[in-house]
């Protein structure tokens, strides 16, 4: 791989030992994938922020990098993925002091390196919004699928450490989805059912990911009516499989280029019965002791919608709503946080249930409107799925109606 003089200097320790180590990691990765050069990146999203996932080994790696002077490259917009708790309201979640102490150390190490913004899986709603065609390095599967597909930015499926390396060096190797020829669809998905809601878009993404985990799907016959719908589709497809880019005919920015060139692609037909089967994996009859909304993190519009649905009543069970710091701040200004408090619901920032210390929290059955959350949570507890309005109604009534 060809490196510029500046990149050679970086590799040889010109910006310190930590930056050199991280540059070496990117060079090795680039060589592995036969990249011809490095690309400059203007936007990075770093995952691996929850102590629940990092453990002590991850914490000491971050503290080591911070103590060796790793610093975010100037002119790179950087955001962090959610942590294992609301950094301020962790006591309300029932998180132990021991976990909180370690999680705060993780955040402190990131801060020392210049990463302090975000703590969300929707960085595009928190000021990190790449333009069409921009080369970026994003981790967090749901966010990077959204960035590639809906924004038309270009990123590979980065890990926490490779994204951090890009934040510090301002570079990413030129391979995979950065290259024009690798962005064409590899699968034609013919949707032969009316997809009526955001959670059904999640079902569509979930089915695609399950059956064709590595594909670049081209969806025909579906209309995504909201950004929340794209969030549901992106997050579900990226969790049951490893889908990092998809196209929706007539909607996503690169779809038009491929419209006339779909002959010969493998086909996947999705009918109403298939969507129903996806829901059957997370049945409602198991009940719930927590309703969780906000995977991916809720937008302000969706929070307003939920508050209107609650309409001044009190919830009977536990209702947790997760959002970004940026949206939380707007919600505070609009009086929404107060309204949720009065309703007995918990509005959290910086975190989500999936990356929180589940065992400490003690929940056994969770009802959610997110296929991604249900998919991951079902590894450690019982998860069931319903539409957002069914979820809100269930929280108000203490039981879920099919
Ligand atoms: Fe975000 Fe957590 Fe879901 S990080 S996409 S809310 S699993």
Give 244-296 pLDDT, tens digit per residue: 999 999 999 999 999 998 999 999 999 999 999 999 999 999 999 999 999 99
What is the spatial distance between Cα 192 and Cα 196, in angstroms, rounded to a whole number? 12
Please tell me the distance between residue 3's alpha carbon and the centre of ligand 1 in angstroms. Answer: 36
Q: What is the pLDDT of residue 358?
A: 87
Going by CA atoms, what residue is nearest to atom 2 of ligand 1? 352
Mutation probe of ligand 1 site: the residue of 52, 233, 296 with most atoms within 8 A of C-beta = 296
C-alpha gyration radius of the chain = 21
Q: What is the pLDDT of residue 44?
A: 98
Q: What is the pLDDT of residue 25?
A: 98
pLDDT class for 198, splitting at 50, 70, 90? very high
What is the spatial distance between Cα 237 and Cα 210, in angstroms, rounded to a whole number? 8
Record the tokens describing residue 8, joined without a space: 């050679």
Looking at the CA of residue 370, tell me the nearest atom of ligand 1: 3
Q: What is the arithmetic mean of pLDDT over 17-26?
A: 97
pLDDT class for 122, splitting at 50, 70, 90? very high
Q: What is the pLDDT of residues 22-68, one digit of tens each?
A: 999 999 999 999 999 999 999 999 999 999 999 999 999 999 999 99
What is the spatial distance between Cα 119 and Cα 149, in angstroms, rounded to a whole number? 22
Q: What is the value of pTM for the model shown?
A: 0.97
pLDDT class for 177, splitting at 50, 70, 90? very high
Looking at the CA of residue 141, tell me the nearest atom of ligand 1: 5
Site of tokens 């019965």: 273
Going by CA atoms, what residue is nearest to atom 6 of ligand 1? 295
What is the spatial distance between Cα 265 and Cα 308, in angstroms, rounded to a whole number? 45
What is the spatial distance between Cα 222 and Cα 192, in angstroms, rounded to a whole number? 8
Q: Is the pLDDT of residue 227 over 80?
A: yes
Q: Is the pLDDT of residue 101 over 80?
A: yes
Sign of torsion, CA 392 395 397 400? positive
Record the tokens describing residue 16, joined without a space: 């310190």
Percentage of residues of the chain with pLDDT beyond 90 = 98
pLDDT class for 402, splitting at 50, 70, 90? confident
Q: What is the pLDDT of residue 401?
A: 77
Q: What is the pLDDT of residue 315?
A: 97
User: How far does Cα 221 stand from its chain's mean position?
Assistant: 26
What is the spatial distance between Cα 219 and Cα 363, in angstroms, rounded to a whole number? 37
What is the spatial distance between Cα 147 and Cα 149, in angstroms, rounded to a whole number? 6
């Amino acid at each position: 791989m060809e490196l510029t003089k500046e990149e050679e200097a970086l590799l040889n320790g010109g910006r310190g030992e930590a930056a050199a180590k991280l540059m070496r990691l990117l060079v090795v990765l680039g060589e592995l994938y036969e990249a011809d050069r490095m690309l400059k990146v203007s936007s990075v999203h770093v995952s691996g922020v929850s102590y629940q996932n990092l453990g002590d080994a991850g914490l000491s790696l971050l503290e080591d990098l911070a103590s060796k002077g790793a610093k975010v490259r100037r002119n790179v917009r950087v955001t962090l993925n959610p942590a294992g708790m609301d950094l301020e309201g962790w006591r309300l979640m029932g998180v132990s002091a021991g976990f909180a102490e370690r999680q705060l150390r993780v955040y402190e190490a990131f801060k020392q390196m210049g990463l302090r913004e975000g703590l969300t899986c929707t960085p595009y709603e928190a000021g990190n919004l790449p333009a069409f065609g921009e080369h970026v390095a994003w981790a967090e599967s749901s966010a990077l699928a959204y960035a590639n597909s809906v924004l038309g930015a270009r990123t590979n499926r980065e890990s926490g450490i490779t994204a951090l390396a890009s934040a510090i060096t301002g570079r990413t190797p030129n391979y995979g989805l950065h290259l024009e020829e690798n962005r064409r669809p590899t699968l034609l998905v013919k949707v032969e059912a009316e997809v009526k809601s955001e959670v059904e878009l999640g079902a569509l993404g979930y089915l695609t990911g399950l059956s064709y985990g590595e594909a670049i799907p081209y969806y025909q016959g579906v209309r995504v009516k909201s950004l929340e719908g794209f969030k549901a589709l992106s997050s579900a497809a990226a969790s049951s499989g490893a889908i990092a880019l998809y196209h929706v005919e007539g909607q996503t920015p690169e779809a038009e280029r491929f419209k006339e060139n779909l002959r010969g692609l493998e086909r996947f037909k999705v009918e109403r019965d298939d969507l129903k089967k996806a829901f059957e994996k997370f049945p409602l009859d198991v009940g719930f002791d927590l309703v969780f909304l906000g995977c991916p993190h809720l937008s302000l519009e969706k929070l307003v919608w939920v508050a209107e649905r609650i309409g001044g009543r009190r919830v009977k069970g536990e209702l947790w709503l997760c959002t970004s710091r940026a949206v939380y701040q707007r919600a505070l200004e609009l009086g929404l946080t107060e309204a949720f408090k009065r309703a007995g619901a918990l509005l959290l920032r910086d975190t989500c249930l999936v990356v929180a210390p589940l065992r400490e929290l003690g929940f056994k059955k969770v009802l959610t409107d997110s296929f991604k959350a249900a998919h991951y949570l079902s590894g450690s507890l019982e998860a069931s799925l319903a539409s957002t309005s069914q979820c809100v109604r269930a929280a108000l009534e203490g039981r879920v109606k099919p």
